[in-house]
Structure 1
Amino acid sequence: MSENDGAQAHPALAGGALYLDYNATTPVDPEALRAALPYLTTHFGNPSSGHSYAGEPRRAVERARGQVAGLLGARPGEIVFTSGGSEADTLAVRGAALGSPGRQVVTLATEHPAVLRSCESLRADGFTVTRVPVDPHGRVDPDVLHAAVRERQTALVSIAYGNSETGTLQPIAELAAVAHESGALFHTDAAQAAGKVPLDVSALGVDLLTMVGHKMYAPKGVGALYVRSGTRLHPLIHGGGQEGGLRAGTENVALVAALGKAAELARLELPGSAVRLAALRDLLHAELEARLPGRVHLNGHPAERLPGTLNVSIDGVGGRALLAAVPGIAAATGSACHEGVDAPSPVLLAMGLPAGRASEAVRLSLGRWSTEREVRQAARLIAEAAA
């Protein structure tokens, strides 16, 4: 659990606030940065060109495609590079729906806005959008999904693997099987899960899967969509036919190379990294409960949860007020602030939490450079501010 305590901190984190917001974004791993640099300096060529300057950039893109595929248990040709998670989600949702004869899309009320708004945008194209409810832990029952899909009328079911706020993991293999029984495609947004838990697209049975660079120690501005071979997608960006015709535009070779290296690092450190983060997460939870007896309430599934995610409500103190009182910690709340007015998290409300408890939520997320010492220190600071 404390194997990283003696390790050198990431340069961006040294001397700063305790970083407990890895679900928002991660520091770029130095190895991912090193992988990118040659394509910002020496190897500047366009990978689609026909001359010698294109060779190394082209090889870098294909090497990264193989590295990403290796993390997901996919084939390299099934990986499409994008500008990030929102584009990958939009391509999956709109691309699959517009390429299907079905006129219904099904998702959860707890999905990321990139999925929810992509689904909503399809109403203008004549689609019906169905939002399936979740249980108090944020999970969906496969039987509930079965009742929502329509035989041969549902184009796509899109359900995230791990929720970004609570960390709740969905039974993706069972849900994908339900979708396929109705003739629908299945997409999962694995932005929070990729690199944190083992993923195998064949075992999961998904047709489409989103992953995001800056959630797994690569730079912002790059992501990927796994597209099962034979899956029909309507492209959103038209142009020169890059990425198998599914995403036109000259590839950002440097960021793609960094994503590939990040995927390789994640594959090599799993499952040990998941075990370590789960232990740190549980230690943080236990420390908070010991310091604030009877006041700490877990939001999300107690077991089926991302290893580094802890979402809790602390009785008697709002999440935003709590974090404002602890400037030595960088974390997030479970609520969104609009025009200066606190609004309870839609995710937590969809789980059936009272508005008051939802407003008291804080999300504490751990990652590669989190240590036992930091976890104990963070629990102490939070408890002192909440006392």
Structure 2
Amino acid sequence: MVPLGSAALTRPARDGRYGSMGAVPTVARWWSSRTDPQRIDLYTRSSYYTTLVFVPVMLFFAAASDWVTASAWHPVVLLGSSVVTTAACLVLTRRGFHDRAAGPDRPALLVALVAGLITVLAALAATGEGPAPAAPWVTGLVGAAVLLALSVTVPTRPLVTGAAVTGVLAGAVALAEGNPPAAAVAIGASIGLAVAFFVTAFRFSVWILDVVLEMERTRGVQAQLAVAEERLRFARDLHDVMGRNLSAIAVKTQLAAELVRRGRDGAAEELADISRVAEESLREVRDVVRGYRRTDLPGELAGARSVLRAAGVGVTVTGEEEAEALPEPVQAALGWVVREAVTNVLRHSRASWCSVELRAAGGEAELQVTNDGAPGAGTAWGNGLTGLAERLAATGGRLSAGPAGDRFVLAATVPVRVSA
């Protein structure tokens, strides 16, 4: 949980030639500043890109052992076509992550397939008249690279089919190179299984990314729905209070106007009733607003549980029975603490669980809110926590907030006997 309105921590300016330069963010701070879905997205993309970048290197060294010709153009063609294959696969991957629903980019796929075919032919030609033991594995690497790029947008079943096709092609290349049929089948089967396992593992990581992003969107929608529900509740209460009185004012105003128009007695009494109803309405509206603003601790604890659960955060609340027995000033003070803590959890943390504990002993009431959503959070307080500490200080209480290991703990203590 990051304190509401907190500012970024800065190091003091250094003396010397570079004293005016700001501190360079560390890698740890750069990583911790990202949300969990952003980290998973970054990890998934980097895994794809890193693996694809190494494809030309693996292809080049896989075929290097078979080169017996003195011609220099075979390695050049092999390396060039493999680089083109990798570039096309990178384009396929990038566009797939950019728009998952659009499917694979057909021009990039066509370039990858053509360049991959040239790579396989170059691997075969580089051996001259002799056998090419590495050619089937070059075929498997090319197929794995293309299927890897397609796995961002293509479901698992077509990818497994593609791996089987890659295995068949590798087996055919092995058979064409003079291997016995049984050996060619074994080579093709092993390459097909390896490619299938490799591609489905990456496809599974994309599926996990989709699930995490969907959960993040759902959590945001749930939080918005919780806020909308609270607004509707307030609007309903205000309507119930004001509807009848405003209707009465409207009817009595029309009646008073008609009496005045006809010159009959009773208009003054009706106007007096209108004034009375208006004053009553004003008093009831103030009661509604006061009730809405009043920090009733049991109600705040129940609201915290409801809002956090609606936002997808696991929550445990203890000490609700003790909250009802506390004096009203203590409930009001701790109610503000609950509001501020829950607001910070929802707006400034990536919490998966939160606990709210209330204890009253030794003439003091202590409220502690703990969550796991702010690893590496700073100790600087924002305006929200600063104002809350000032509010508690006015009642003789105290506030502490900051990281404790991999958790963030906010604790407030208020004397039970507080002057109203």
* TM bracket (short chain): under 0.3
> TM-score by structure 1 length?
0.24
Name the one with the larger strand percent.
Answer: 1
More RCO (CA 8 Å, sep 6+): 1
Query: What TM-score do the two structures reach when normalised by structure 2?
Result: 0.22
